[in-house]
Structure 1
Amino acid sequence: MSRSTPPNEQAEDVDFVQLLFTDVAGRLKTLEVPSARWAEVRDDGWTLDGAVLLGYGDPEHSDLRLMPDPSTFVHRPWSTPSGRTVGMVFCDVLDSAGRPFAADPRAVLRRAVEASEARGQRPVFGVEAEFYLLRDTDTGTGAAGHPADGAGYWDLSVDEQADEVCRDIAEALELMGLTVDGHHHEVCSGQRELVFRHGDALATADRLLLLKHTARVMARRRNMSAVFMPKPLAHLYGNALHVHVSLDGTGTDTGTGPLFHDAADPHGMSELFRHSLAGVLDHAPALTALGNPTVNSYKRLVPASGTPVHASWARHNRSTAFKVAGDTAAPRSLRLEMRSPDPAAHPHLLFAGVLAALADGQDRALKLPEACEEAADALAAGDLAARGIAELPTDLPSALRALEQDAVVHGALGELAAGAVVRNSRSDWAAWHRIVTPWEIGRYAQTV
């Protein structure tokens, strides 16, 4: 995000400032203040009820404080309907003693990054976010909408209304200091992907939240909806969030170059990369709870749907949960690509879990199994067992149990944040089971 404007001048040319933070579910929250109050709020913060962040009331954590991070201040490049201008700034959350609040997702990720840096490793993250551009459908149908275009994978569409939304998004993000590398049409009608420049973990996580918000605003301005839910349309592919991660040396014992590359290895992979990837494979069930955190997530993760349902890795196979991406001739490009997460993931918590899994693989010198260059869901159970390929959780409760039982990933989040994630997700699961769907009525009402 832009850091060129001095903190005392950031709000001089805006009318209001939105103080941004997220709850543990990844929903972007805000308090908006007049720009005349910015200097005071920047220095002193603002009181926050912990229930807003945790998702439930807890007297022990009822009095928290939002503290703006001025380095993240951006000028929103679009005006309100009445012509007012707005600035946006991410906030850290402090507890009643003035310490980073244990369950603040930015604090969770910052702790994980500091642990990596203590090992001489600087994490680099990138994301590719898929979403649908939908037009409103008939009211009362319960459908999310219908695709805004009929184009396909990387097609050049002749209907440019949806393209204009993507251009609006890209232009707005650029004006907020994000470098947009490109956007293209995805496999299904109305489905798009936008890629912005990779960076450090905290900045990338913050920027993904800005991307989602900006996309929704720009789509609405052209009478469409930008929908990031994992599986919005039953008959079309779901939305993925491909997460890319690599490690650079910080100049200590590890050196300063890219740590995942080894020119002598057939795959270009260093021994540290192999141990790191083995760690992510070992902790894949718990990471699924963070990368696929909703009831709807598991409508996307089904066999023969083009989405990964096994904890396997490959160099070229795009159906695996984990893929080694990049060009061996370009050492800095070599990276781990996670293909199972979806855009409902809370990026701060997911990134923290990934870093803990990488470190655990290194500490235990875990052995990386052979790559799986064929579709794992087409292999027989015996073949999967012989190759040590396990299934990923198939529903939300299974993933949450894996998170609770995984001391490494659970520990990276901390008891308070992990407990809130599990509690809120189980509440969603219970709410889902109180709903009787049209499918159930059609299948059972006259037949059982």
Structure 2
Amino acid sequence: MPIQIVMVPDLGGAETVEVIDLGLASGDVVALEDSLLVLESDKAAMDMPSPVAGVFKKYLVTEGAIVHVGDAIAEIDMAKETPADAENPPEEKAIEASSSVVMAKNKPEAVMEKASIPVSTVQRFEMADFELGSGKTIATDIYAGPVARKFARELGVSLIEVIGTGSRGRILKDDINNFVKKVMKDRVSTTEKVSGDIGISPAPIVDFSQFGVIKTIKMSKIQKLTAANMQRNWRSIPHVTQLDEADITELEVFRKSLKVKQEKRVTLVAFLIKAIGSLLQSNPEFNRSLAVDGKHFIQKHYIHIGMAVDTPRGLVVPVIRDVDEKDIWDISVDVAMLANKARDGKLSPAEMKGGCFTLSSLGAIGGNGFTPIINAPEIGILGVSKSQMKSTWDGSVFVPRLMLPLALSYDHRAINGAEAGRFLVHLIKLLGDVDYFSS
């Protein structure tokens, strides 16, 4: 078939995305992997590459539309006009192509046969729901796909209590989210009634135009999500922040020497991430999350470190995986690669998941210190400010030393002050030990 229906591919965990840019016009020549449009998830924007080469015909979505994995988004003419094409007018091709999309909803095999499109994640979920004899203890009267079931398990939600709003009563992730929100809202309401807490008064509504010229700027999806998450984390987590300084005089000399020897630049961030990875091994209480029931800890036996990156679209946190298994060069490569992808809006949702602990460095910007907000469900975050030369007392004379300000914020429900103090002392010791990083 010359007309290729392009569908939203598996997005690595994001079930819905927003169409934010449609850049092609009918008749444009499209090469394999050329960008068709730009999609934005809750955390990142990404180019949607063309799976085939041909001539672009039309979009099947509009800018601002919310699309799901498996939705049809565009048509591409894969072949030049032939006598057979002349017998089948474009209108008939469009009808035939659209019929294949309709068939895909009920019969994934039709998509593979008619349009050479792989069975989408959504379609695989549809089939998985009807698999029998698998030996899995899944209630047959609960209609939900693997993603929704996994999401429910992670939140500790019983699907029996959730009302599905999808087709034929299918339980979606949004249904689980709404169920959790309702439960939490009911708890807050009950707590307020018992404690007499009337909540926080809303901010006053101000007409700023009365004071001068203004412009209303729409927040990006990432900025809106960040604002909501920061407010939730600040209000729901009992934060404590401990401050200290690390002497990195020798470490900085060693770091600069690496560039001369290896002709590669290693940033201080790579050393900090390496040190944090070691600390999570020796201080496992920092490599935990609180269970939803509030009665258990989830101890993690993997070490993935989040790295806050400032981008034109807002703050994102890509995750460097298996830090404990990598040397300083491997980590340095990951830092550069993920930071560049973050600034270019190329991060996938999977690259921003699974963090155990987060590093937020403002060293390139400046400042003497700040109190970072914990990135839940993690229970700790390290804030690093700009290093400064200071005069320090060595026991006999004052000597100049390069000092790095550190701020460790932690969830006081899971970490006490003594544990946090030991964490910082150990970190300062590692940053002063060049042999640790050179081995």
Give the structure-1-normalised TM-score: 0.25
Is the radius of gyration larger for structure 1 or structure 2? Answer: 2
Give the structure-2-normalised TM-score: 0.25
